[in-house]
Chain A
Amino acid sequence: MWLYEKKLQYPVRVSKCDPRMAKLLLEQYGGADGELAAALRYLNQRYSIPDKVIGLLTDIGTEEFAHLEMIATMVYKLTKDATIEQIKAAGLSEIYAQHDRALFYTNAGGVPFTAAYIQAKGDPLADLYEDIAAEEKARATYQWLIDLTDDVDLQDSLKFLREREIVHSLRFREAVEIIKADWNTKKVY
Chain B
Amino acid sequence: MNDQERTWIPYIGPYDPCPPIRVKTYVVPPNQYIVFQPLDLPQFSLQEALRYGTLWPALFSPYESKNLRRGGRTL
Contact = CB atoms under 8 A, between A and B. Distances in A.
User: Taking the complex as a whole, does A directly touch B, i.e. does some CB pair lie under 8 Å apart?
Assistant: yes
B75 interface: yes
Nearest to B60: A163
A163 B52 contact: yes
Contacts of A18: 72-74
Interface of A: 10, 15-16, 18, 20-21, 24, 139, 142-143, 146-151, 155, 159-164, 166-167, 169-170, 173-174, 177, 189
Interface of B: 27, 29-31, 34-37, 50-54, 59-61, 63-75
A117 B21 CA distance: 33
Contact of A174 (B37, B64, B74): B37
B34 A170 contact: yes
Given A160-B53, A163-B52, A149 B31 contact: no
A169 B31 contact: yes
Top 8 closest pairs, chain A to chain B, by CB: A163-B53, A16-B72, A170-B31, A21-B74, A160-B53, A147-B66, A151-B72, A20-B74
